[in-house]
Structure 1
């Protein structure tokens, strides 16, 4: 750390000084960060290469942020040291102090500059704290815990998550990814179009599961047609109804793996190899999200 030399100098000050208190605070924060890093390492399987790589980046970011925070605090404290000599005006060999008149102009300028530095340091400190809190929430919150559980469930089946962009098309993109391994060239656009056509042609199988969120009534025919049009023309999210349609279109079972519930299998009447999707409730700020899966890549990286 760049601040280590200055820390060494500050250790020589009195125990009750601001410098000594800051040194002790920095040591405490370093120990707390190391404990957190160890916990992070323990939470990620060594054979999960992608997450180990992300973990290394997260750790480097946390260490860099703490180092920058400490450096800024040291610099801010150095500007606040007492004992700076008062600047006195001198006229004809007589100081302003001698004649009982203070000339605070230069001192006033220094004070304003110091206030600006302190304000900037406080803002940077607040920003660092917000970033650190967000990182902790990310690592200990619902999203991280859900990801851990899913990784363990998939690892038992020699699978791992294949990340899919969160753009409204995630369910269709995940199905598209699965189909590529089967030499099926259906695109997201194809899948959306065929899903809408199937649902319109089998309206009686789907309308009973669609209700108007305002009135609570079942969809009218007009509302249902708009729902199907949105499937084709917008990035409307897909769910179990669309998966049911896709299962029938592809003559293939679709298995949806979840973190806190048993897998859901749609289209169990089909005997072909199932398409496997991962359903995540806490993946992004908007909530629900679908990912695909791929074969687990073994790794010997223990770092």
Structure 2
């Protein structure tokens, strides 16, 4: 009985292989029903054959003619065939794909491994290269001089030599005007009003003073402008546009003070406007020290 069962299992696997080949190579929309019917007929014939052989070995009547016990045993032996049955072939199955081969000593061979995705491999390689470049740049940055720290250390040294201490001004685009306002308050020089309106922030009052002076004496400034005077004045009055050399000149004349700008390496730029009076405004100018770029702080007297 064991030898018979082993042979039945081999025959069931062989038939399954044949059925699979038929469905892959012969089935199409037009022929699928005929191929399926043929496969079912082959499976039924093998089932009947196995049932008859088991009944003959047991010395019993033909299971196909009504012996339930032999039939049950044959159905049990045919379970591998049913378990291995595949769904009808689909239209998109490639005819060139080989079917798994059946062997007497084991299950059908596994399908071929999917080929690596070349696009994903290229992306992974590129990501690795970028990561390596970032690490290299970080290592190189460690060896570069810290310009901000160096500039700050030198500025503090030069302030100390001149008996000055720093009042930090917010880096928001209004720093030049806010620093000048702080200096004027230290000198007890009135800032003035903006069109007669009180309660305006100090830096806005100083902005208005710079714009008013440039507007009053346009011949002194228009040669240095790269845009129409009207638009330039609007930026000074109404926006957070940075101030520079022209605005310092206007403020020195407007408030009749000398403006001293201490820069890196101890250089001091003087913008005259006091007209012989001993009234000096001191500002500290930074090129690297702040995130927005160039920046002005107010320099008060130490002590």
Normalising by structure 1, report the TM-score.
0.48
Normalising by structure 2, report the TM-score.
0.48
